[in-house]
Amino acid sequence: MSPELLNIHKPRPVTASAHFGTCHQAHAAMFSVHAGVDGADALVCAVAALKAAYETNALALEKAEEPLRSLLMATENSLEKGLALAEAVLDGLELG
């Protein structure tokens, strides 16, 4: 049997539970990622969040002066990498 046919019955990846929003561990987490969400759907949300962070960072970068500007440039670089990786994984999932 071909690998493509065997892949039909393979379950899609899903999320595990994760918590966030502790205000630097000042209190228990206020928010969570639910377990069992389709991985591709979760990745679409992650891409949207990364794009929003990138745009927010870009606006701050337009107004910033050194030394903050250098920190925002480093953040931009990290956001670009994360966004490219997340989009590449999502594209790979869509291709099957």
Q: Compute the average pLDDT of residues 59-81.
A: 96
CA 52 to chain centre: 11
Mean pLDDT of 58-74: 96
Q: What is the pLDDT of residue 95?
A: 87
Domain boundaries, the chain: 3-95
Q: What is the dihedral of CA 83, 87, 90, 94, to 10 degrees?
A: 170
pLDDT at 5 over 90: no
Give CA–CA dist 69/28, Å, rounded.
33
Strand locations in the chain, DSSP E? Answer: 18-20, 31-33
What average pLDDT is seen over the chain? Answer: 92
Q: Is the pLDDT at 36 greater than 90, yes or no?
A: yes
